[in-house]
């Protein structure tokens, strides 16, 4: 199985983490990158060049996938369903998210554990 990062959780905290003893595979899809662009522009006031540079770096270090199956588990925020679709398509072990409203309350979805970034770091370093 692979791990999936919900990228917003790490940017929101303004920290980056490096795990040298674990291979982390990050899956995303174009809609997730578009949402990230919007979040960086609206919530963090990043300029166009900062956003472009960041998205290019992310694309170089991620696997872009197009999920074959749609899910509609989270009625309140359909964008979060796209994240679940990525997790399913990538057969990931962990979906790491800071979304306390929709994703974290699920705790698990189709075999994928949904945990916070701090809980994931605890798993790495315990």
pLDDT above 70: residue 12: no
Closest C-alpha among 35, 66, 40 to residue 51: 40
- What tokens appear for 16 in the block? 């980056």
Q: What is the CATH number of the domain that holds 113?
A: 3.40.50
Q: Is the dihedral of CA 102, 66, 17, 47 positive or negative?
A: negative
Given this model, what pLDDT does residue 25 score?
61
Query: What is the chain's mean pLDDT, rounded?
Result: 78
Cβ neighbourhood burial of 70 (10 Å; 0-12, 13-18, 19+): exposed
8 Å CB contact between 115 and 96 = yes
Rounded Cα distance between 98 and 102, Å, is: 10
Tens of pLDDT, residues 53-99 = 988 888 888 777 888 999 999 999 998 898 899 888 888 888 888 88
Tens of pLDDT, residues 92-118 = 888 888 889 999 999 999 999 999 888
Tens of pLDDT, residues 34-55 = 888 888 899 889 999 999 998 8
Please identify which residue in the block is written with the tokens 């705790």: 107
Query: What's the total number of domains in the chain?
Result: 1
Task: State percent of the chain over pLDDT 90.
Answer: 29
Question: Collapsing DSSP states into helix, strand and coil, what is residue 21?
Answer: coil
**106 DSSP 8-state letter:** G
Range of the domain at 85: 2-125
**98 DSSP 8-state letter:** -
């Amino acid at each position: 199985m692979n791990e999936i990062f919900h990228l917003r959780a790490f940017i929101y905290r303004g920290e980056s983490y490096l795990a040298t003893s674990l291979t982390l595979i990050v899956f995303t899809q174009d809609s997730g990158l578009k949402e990230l662009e919007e979040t960086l522009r609206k919530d963090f006031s990043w300029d166009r060049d900062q956003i472009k540079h960041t998205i290019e770096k992310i694309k170089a270090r991620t696997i872009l996938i197009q999920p074959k199956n749609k899910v509609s588990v989270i009625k309140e925020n359909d964008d979060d369903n796209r994240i679940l679709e990525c997790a399913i398509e990538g057969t990931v072990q962990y979906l790491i998210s800071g979304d306390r409203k929709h994703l974290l309350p699920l705790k698990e979805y189709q075999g994928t554990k949904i945990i916070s970034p701090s809980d994931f770091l605890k798993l790495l370093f315990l």
